[in-house]
Amino acid sequence: MQQTGSSGPKGFVVQPRRLPKAEASKRVQDFGEIIVKPTTENVEAQAGRCTDCGVPFCQNACPLQNNIPDWLGLSAEDEMREAWRMASATSTMPEICGRICPQDRLCEGACTLNVSGWEAVTIGSVEAFIGDTAFDNGWVEPIRPLHERAESVGIVGAGPAGMAAADRLREQGYQVTIYDRHDRAGGLLMYGIPGFKLEKRVVQRRIDRLVDGGVTFVAGCNVGVDVTLDQLRDKHDVVLLAMGVYAARGLSVPGCGPGDTVAALDYLIHQNRRDLEDPENEAWHHAKGRKVVVIGGGDTAMDCVRTAIRQGAESVVCLYRRDKENMPGSAREVANAEEEGVHFEWLGAPKALMSRDGAVTSVRTARMALSEPVFGQRRDIHVVPGGDFDIQADLVIEALGFEPENFAAHNPELALTDWKTVKVARFGQPGAGFATSIPGVFAAGDAVRGASLVVWAVRDGQDAAAEIDRYLRTRTEEVAA
């Protein structure tokens, strides 16, 4: 929609929203990011669309409370270095969140321009540009604490929550060690989220900055197996648990036995390892020439279907039991998948896996229908009698979500919630408290929230670091009951 010639509240000509995205037919040929790096002029024009409406709904909708209108204004005036200073004050990963936040549900969803029919400012893209420009120009300050402190913090998990906490704690001069069972740091940023949303070099430069600033990574260390939580407590003044949630929910239908399906995360890890040029392993899954059915409707399912398209699958179907409007996945990712050739089978629930000679041939599917809407309630679903049908498949990927692993095994005194996540003192309350039931042990990110978003993990990591700093200075804390 061309909308030139109209005046915005600031009195300048309102530009249309432009988010340069590679053509679907081109972008499916590799695993590079699909958002094309904008030019400075394009960023200035897009940032200049901000009307500085006075009530920063975008900022309120951002989990980090980023000063969006301010850094948009600076970007519009090509004051990129100052924009960077402001963006990095509230976030330890602006260039990462700018790429992978579901902005349609967060900052951009709240942009005032939406209400007046002008389409939101491309906030995420401008944020990523500010961060990339800072890295390219050497404006990203190395971590050089003013004073070294003797106290040490051990962090379990090198995902965004652990990395954000490490960044802030090391800046304060603490001795920080991160333990991770993977061979690389980054958590789901490195091994879950595909390159077409977030290239690995972008994650690696953040890791490099932490290492350069004196953070120690201990890779290949499975806490609970190679070292216990109690041993880490003896070794460090504080331990932060930031180990995410990794127990995949499984499909339970007739005909589904071990080896008949592939777990979404295994599938994505294999492709991410290829992107990282790890030596190919014959056990790695690949969709080339196969009929792929991905079961699930969240962002993990979207990542799997789009990966299968890029691997050259013969057909790719996303099977979800509700309709498009009720999908948990971001509308933006669903649209990307549709553009790339994924077929969505809405209102379909797997009923059985059909096999021949021990190999899966199709997914028997029940047709579902939504119940009548009731105000304030999520619409229920029920099976349509006689509506069963088969979807051909020789690669079935389960993307049904994740739950916490058995955290209680780390220490029976570690209090858990009803959802088996780690219980902390004041979750979700102002000045949130991240102390667990064990003195000196804190927790952050998905391990506390359940499967969530990178931006919330970053927020938690930063807030937990501030709380750990207070604790180490005063040795007082409010533990989870």
Ligand X SMILES: Cc1cc2nc3c(=O)[nH]c(=O)nc-3n(C[C@H](O)[C@H](O)[C@H](O)COP(=O)(O)OP(=O)(O)OC[C@H]3O[C@@H](n4cnc5c(N)ncnc54)[C@H](O)[C@@H]3O)c2cc1C
Contacted entry of ligand X, ligand SF4, none for residue 425, CB cut-off 5 to 8 Å set by kind: none
In the numeric block, which tokens belong to residue 463? 């807030």
- From candidates 109, 145, 214, 224, binder to ligand X by CB under 6 A: 224
Q: Is residue 163 a contact residue for ligand SF4 (CB under 6 A)?
A: no
Q: Is residue 68 a contact residue for ligand SF4 (CB under 6 A)?
A: yes
- Least Å distance, CB 33 to ligand X, is 12
User: Cα(143)–Cα(392) distance, rounded to whole angstroms?
Assistant: 53
Chain residues 64-123 in contact with ligand X, contact rule CB under 6 A: 100-101
Side chain identity, residue 180? D
Sheet holding 343-345, edge to edge: 262-263, 395-398, 291-295, 315-319, 343-345
348 exposure class (CB count in 10 Å sphere: 0-12, 13-18, 19+): buried
Q: Is residue 43 a contact residue for ligand SF4 (CB under 6 A)?
A: no
Name residue, tokens 């127990």: 247
- Least Å distance, CB 64 to ligand SF4, is 5
Between 66 and 436, name the residue whose CB sits nearer to ligand SF4: 66
The region of 4-12, 109-117, 319-327, 444-452 touching ligand X under the rule CB under 6 A is: 444-452
The region of 60-68, 274-282, 311-319, 411-419 touching ligand SF4 under the rule CB under 6 A is: 60-68
Q: Is residue 188 a contact residue for ligand X (CB under 6 A)?
A: yes
Chain residues 111-150 in contact with ligand SF4, contact rule CB under 6 A: 123-124, 127
Nearest to 165 by CA among 437, 479, 469: 469
Nearest to 479 by CA among 416, 424, 421: 424
- Contact call for residues 458 and 164 (beta carbons, < 8 A): yes
Question: What is the 3-state composition of the chain as percent helix, strand, coil, each rounded to the nearest 5?
Answer: 35, 15, 50
- From candidates 162, 195, 404, 440, binder to ligand X by CB under 6 A: 162
Nearest to 329 by CA among 368, 303, 292: 303
In the numeric block, which tokens belong to residue 136? 């390219």
- Chain mean position to CA 334: 16
> At a CB cut-off of 8 Å and minimum separation 6, what does 26 contact?
none
Side chain identity, residue 377? Q
Contacted entry of ligand X, ligand SF4, none for residue 298, CB cut-off 5 to 8 Å set by kind: none
In the numeric block, which tokens belong to residue 32? 């590079």
Give the residues across from 426 on adjacent strands.
Answer: 433
- From candidates 159, 348, 350, 440, binder to ligand X by CB under 6 A: 159
- Least Å distance, CB 61 to ligand SF4, is 7
The region of 35-43, 56-64, 221-229, 250-258 touching ligand X under the rule CB under 6 A is: 221-229
The region of 132-140, 182-190, 201-209, 270-278 touching ligand X under the rule CB under 6 A is: 182-190
Q: Is residue 158 a contact residue for ligand SF4 (CB under 6 A)?
A: no
Chain residues 334-373 in contact with ligand X, contact rule CB under 6 A: none
- From candidates 35, 158, 203, 313, binder to ligand X by CB under 6 A: 158
3-state secondary structure of 333: helix
Contacted entry of ligand SF4, ligand X, none for residue 157, CB cut-off 5 to 8 Å set by kind: ligand X
User: Cα(85)–Cα(65) distance, rounded to whole angstroms?
Assistant: 15
Side chain identity, residue 397? I
Contact set with ligand X (CB under 6 A)? 100-101, 156-162, 179-182, 187-188, 192-193, 197, 221-224, 242-244, 268, 299-300, 303, 445-447, 452-455, 457
Contact set with ligand SF4 (CB under 6 A)? 62, 64, 66, 68, 97-98, 101, 103, 106-107, 123-124, 127, 455
